[in-house]
Structure 1
Amino acid sequence: MATTGKSAESGTAAADAAGTGAEPRPQDAPVSAAGQDRIRELEAKAAECEDRWRRAMADADNTRKRHVAELRAERAAERARVAAAFLPVIDNLELALAHAEADPTAVVQGVLAIRDQAVQLLTGLGYERDDESGVPFDPARHEVVAVVDEPGTEPNTVTRVVRPGYGTGGGQLRPTAVTVAQPRR
Structure 2
Amino acid sequence: MPRYPHEPETAPEGAAGPPREDSHEPAPPLRPQTTNDETGPDVVGPAIAEDEYPAAMKELEDRWRRALADLDNLRKRHAKELERERTVERSRTAAAFLPVLDNLELALSHADADSDAVVEGIRTVRDQAVNVLELLGYPRHAETGVAFDPARHQAVSVVHDPDVEPGTVVQVLRPGYGDGDRQLRPATVTVAKRE
TM-score range, shorter chain: 0.7 to 0.9
Q: What residue in structure 2 maps to residue 88 of structure 1?
A: 99
- The answer to whether 1:167 aligns with 2:150 is no
Cα drift, residue 69 of structure 1? 1.5
Q: Which runs of 4+ in 1 moved over 4 A?
A: none
Q: Distance in 2 between matches of 1:147 and 1:40?
A: 85
- The answer to whether 1:101 aligns with 2:112 is yes
CA distances 1:27-68 after superposition (whole Å, capped 9, x unpaired): xxxxxxxxxx92232321221111001000011011001111
SS of alignment partner, residue 185 of structure 2: coil
Q: Distance in 2 between matches of 1:136 and 1:126?
A: 23
- The answer to whether 1:71 aligns with 2:78 is no
Residue segments in structure 2 that go unaligned for 5+ positions in a row: 1-47
Q: What residue in structure 1 maps to residue 53 of structure 2?
A: 42
Cα drift, residue 72 of structure 1? 1.2
Q: What residue in structure 1 maps to residue 154 of structure 2?
A: 143
Structure number having the greater helix percentage: 1
Residue segments in structure 1 that go unaligned for 5+ positions in a row: 1-36
2:128 to 117, 124, 132: 117
SS of alignment partner, residue 184 of structure 2: coil
TM-score scaled by length of structure 2: 0.73
CA distances 1:142-168 after superposition (whole Å, capped 9, x unpaired): 000110011121111101111100001
Aligned length: 148
Q: What residue in structure 2 maps to residue 55 of structure 1?
A: 66
Q: Distance in 1 between matches of 2:61 and 2:81?
A: 30
Q: Distance in 2 between matches of 1:123 and 1:152?
A: 33
- The answer to whether 1:134 aligns with 2:145 is yes
Q: Distance in 1 between matches of 2:95 and 2:51?
A: 65
TM-score scaled by length of structure 1: 0.77
More relative contact order, 1 or 2 (CA 8 Å, 6+ apart):
1
Q: Alignment RMSD, CA only?
A: 1.2
Q: Distance in 2 between matches of 1:159 and 1:111?
A: 26
